[in-house]
Amino acid sequence: MKTHALITKSRVPPSEVDEELCIRFVNTVAWRLRDLVEDRVKTTTALLEWFAAAGVADASFAVRLRARWEKHPRERELFRESAVRLREAIYQILLSQIGGKAFDRSALKILNAATGAHVRGLGIAPSKGRLVWRSDKLDSAADDLLKPIAWSAVGLLMGPRSGKVRQCQDERGCGWLFVDESRAQNRRWCSMGDCGNRAKVLRHYHRHGGRELASSR
C-alpha cells in the first residue's frame, strides 16, 4: 500500500535531534523510501533557516548572507545546488556503509571536495571494503596525518555526543577517555573487561575481607 503524500512528519527543529550534523542534514529529506520524497529545505531561505537552527551559521550571518544574495542571485543558486549535491553524496556514502556495498567514487569526490582537503591531495578513499584517509603528498605528511584527528575532535565537540565524554573513574588513575553511550549516562569505566572488572573484584574483595589482588594491565 502506498502512503498518502499528504502525511507529514512533525517539524522538529534540527538542533534538537540527537544525531550527528551530517545525518540531520541528510534527514532534511523525509520519506526517502517512498515514491514521493519530501525535501524540507526546498528553498534557499528554508536551507539557510536550517543552517541557523542547526548552529552551523548564527542568525546575524544568515541575515548578512541573505542580503548579499539579493544582489548576487547566482550565488544563491550555486549554494543551493552545492548543498543538495553534498547532501545526496553523504546519503549515498552512508547507504553504502549501511549495506556493506562498494562506495560510490563520485560521491566520495564530492565529499572530499567539500572538506577542502582534496586541494592538498588528502581525502577519504575505499580500501579493503572500508574507508581510510589517503594522502598523496609525503612533504606535507605531518599536516595531513594530523588533520583527520583535528577534524574528528571538532566533529566530536560540535556533535551530539560532546556532552557524553567521560574519564575513567578507576582508582589506580587509568585516565582513559570514552564516550558514554549508555542510556542512563552512568558509565564509569573505560571498559568493563579491565577497569570495570577490577572495581567489581575490589568491591567483592572488601566485602569478603580477602587478601591479595592481582593487578591487571
- What is the binding site for Zn ion (CB under 5 A)? 168, 170, 174, 176, 190, 195
Taking the least distance from each CB to Zn ion, the nearer of 26 and 195 is 195
Which string of DSSP letters, residue by residue, matches 136-172?
--STTHHHHHHHHHHHHHHHHHHSTTGGGEEE---TT
**4: its cell numbers:** 498518502
Measured from the CB atom, is 151 or 176 closer to Zn ion? 176
State the nearest-atom distance from the C-beta of 186 to Zn ion, in Å.
15
Q: How far is CA 30 from CA 11, 40, 189, 201, in A?
A: 11, 7, 38, 49
Q: CB-hemisphere CA count at 13 Å for 206?
A: 5
CB of 205 to Zn ion, least distance (A): 18
Q: Smallest distance from the beta carbon of 164 to Zn ion, in angstroms?
A: 16
CA 182 to CA 180: how far, in whole Å? 6
Please report the sign of the dihedral spanned by the C-alpha atoms of residue 64, residue 88, residue 38, residue 18.
negative
Q: Whole-number minimum distance, CB 168 to Zn ion, in Å? A: 3
Q: Looking at beta carbons only, is 102 or 214 nearer to Zn ion?
A: 214
Least separation in angstroms between CB 185 and Zn ion: 18
To which residue does cell 546519503 refer? 91
Pick 69 or 178: Cβ nearer Zn ion = 178
Q: Which is nearer to Zn ion, 81 or 171 (CB)?
A: 171
